[in-house]
Amino acid sequence: MLSGSEQGGGTLVTVEKLAFGGSGIGRVDGKVCFIPFTAPGDRCRVEIHAEKKSYSEGALLECMAPSPARVTPPCGVFGECGGCFWQHIRYSAQLAAKQQIFVEMLSRSVPVAPDVFLPAVPAPMPYGYRSRVQFKLRSVTGKLKFGFYRRGSHYVIDLPGKCHIACNVINLIREELCRMLERFPEPDKLPQIDVAAGESSGLLLLFHYIGENRTGIAAWLGETVPGCAGVTGVFLQCGRKSSLLRIWGDERVAYRVPTAVVESLPDMELAFRCGGFSQVNYGQNRAMIRTVLDWAALKGRERILDLYCGNGNFSLPISRSCAEIIGVEEYGDSIEDAVFNARSNDVQNARFIARDTDGGLRELIARGERFHLVLLDPPRTGAREAVHLIPALEPEKIIYVSCDPATLARDLAILHGKGYRVAASRPIDMFPQTYHIESVTLLTKV
């Protein structure tokens, strides 16, 4: 390992690898230094701006000898915009870094044999993959900024053209919205627009309004937005989700789970409504569903519990291979979507419960319920309480879908202490150009 040295107004550092959080890691006088927007193998001058007990933080001043992994970012505001972290790194190097980070984070918390970790599933589309985007808006001296927050702030960066990780239809509607909003009555009262695109068609727009003229703004949107390219539904929200108002059009958009994923069975279409959750990368979502189905290895006789089930993203494809599946989800609108999707796809053996996960688990345990498999897909905060309760259901297998390796590692350690071992674990690159890591982990009862 090379130490940093003072030279030309900064410290010379060789970047060794990438960290969860996006920064490159080098060493200065033997201490770890985190440096954003660097690549493994960079030899660079760094300004140290924060000294901690066990590490330091620096800012890149100059890349003296660029890494072979370094590429030119396509986005003109990369480095300012808070959405992407790794556009300056070749995609193959991003994928290798995610694999390394994932293995290191889990191995620190759980005893796992090296062959348990399977190679990360690469994204077929490293750009243009996002089907949902939250655009931030701010009116400054009569000019509307329309883009995303600057990294580490709430200052809005105006996009120069398109967002490179958003799908094409979202970029097209952004251009049209830019023109339309020049006539918006209260531009300083519109902080955000959510856009959700269906896979083959359909586009939902959700306008967040913080003014007092809700009725007038709803009328303006109802007259102005219908007819915009591809838009199939328009919504208004003034504060909490409970204030969501459908102004015009469809409630939902949909994506496909084709026969190639659920073999020898008809294509399945799964819908979600405005304000509901769905994975932003439809292609990688299918890879995740395929992984879950393969690892579940169902024979058709099993009872399955799907926690944090959302719109039935896993429940409904799995339902065709088991005897019964129960989905539990706290957000009532998503449960309505799951019921809608079960009916639309003629699924008879799936039941959905609108209940918080921990409360739902306690009720199932109190009734003496047992399941062959428990599947969970919690938010970034993980499932700290749920993993204490799940073993009481005596599942032979647990499949944990995670979007945060830190909380996954914490929860796997709990399950390991309750008699479950990690049998397989695989990152799935849902979010190229960022450090975020989606994964699927299979645990079996010892």
Q: Would residue 75 show up in a list of annotated catalytic residues for this protein? A: no
pTM, rounded to two decimals? 0.95
Catalytic residue of the set 75, 81, 274, 403: 403
CB–CB of 163/133 below 8 Å? yes
Beta bridge partners of 268: 257
Once rounded to an integer, what is the mean pLDDT over residues 416-434?
A: 98
CB–CB of 399/325 below 8 Å? no
Output phi, psi for 214, to 5 deg: -55, -45
Question: What are the tens digits of pLDDT across the range 246-298?
Answer: 999 999 999 999 988 877 678 999 999 998 889 999 999 999 999 999 999 99
Chain centre to alpha carbon of residue 70: 25
Measure the CA dihedral 354/359/360/361, to 10°.
160
Question: CB neighbours of 242 closer than 8 A, spacing ≥ 6?
Answer: none
Once rounded to an integer, what is the mean pLDDT over residues 290-318?
A: 97
- The pairing of beta strand 245-249 with beta strand 252-257: unpaired
Question: What are the tens digits of pLDDT across the range 33-60?
Answer: 999 999 999 999 999 999 998 999 999 9
CA distances from 441 to 276, 297, 405 (A): 25, 14, 11
Once rounded to an integer, what is the mean pLDDT over residues 216-242?
A: 93
Least confident of 14-23, 233-242, 407-416: 233-242
Task: Output the CA torsion sign for 57, 63, 66, 72.
Answer: positive
Arithmetic mean of pLDDT over the chain: 94
Question: What are the tens digits of pLDDT across the range 371-416?
Answer: 999 999 999 999 999 999 999 999 999 999 999 999 999 999 999 9
Q: Which domains does the chain have, with CATH numbers?
A: 5-65 (2.40.50.140), 96-125+283-445 (3.40.50.150), 132-197+203-249 (2.40.50.1070)
Question: What are the tens digits of pLDDT across the range 56-105?
Answer: 999 999 999 999 999 999 999 999 999 999 999 999 999 999 999 999 99
Tell me what pLDDT residue 2 has.
38
Which residue in this structure is represented by tokens 């300012």?
80
Q: Is the per-residue pLDDT at 123 higher than 70? A: yes
Count how many Cα atoms sit within 13 Å of the Cα of residue 336 in the half-sphere of its side chain: 9
Distance CA 91, CA 414 (A): 34
Once rounded to an integer, what is the mean pLDDT over residues 121-127?
A: 97
Residue 140: pLDDT band with limits 50, 70, 90: confident
Percent of the chain at pLDDT > 70 equals 98
Q: Is the per-residue pLDDT at 7 higher than 60? A: no
Once rounded to an integer, what is the mean pLDDT over residues 171-195?
A: 94
Q: Is the per-residue pLDDT at 345 higher than 60? A: yes
Tell me what pLDDT residue 160 has.
87
Percent of the chain at pLDDT > 90 equals 89
Vertex 232 angle, CA 231 and 238, to 5°: 85
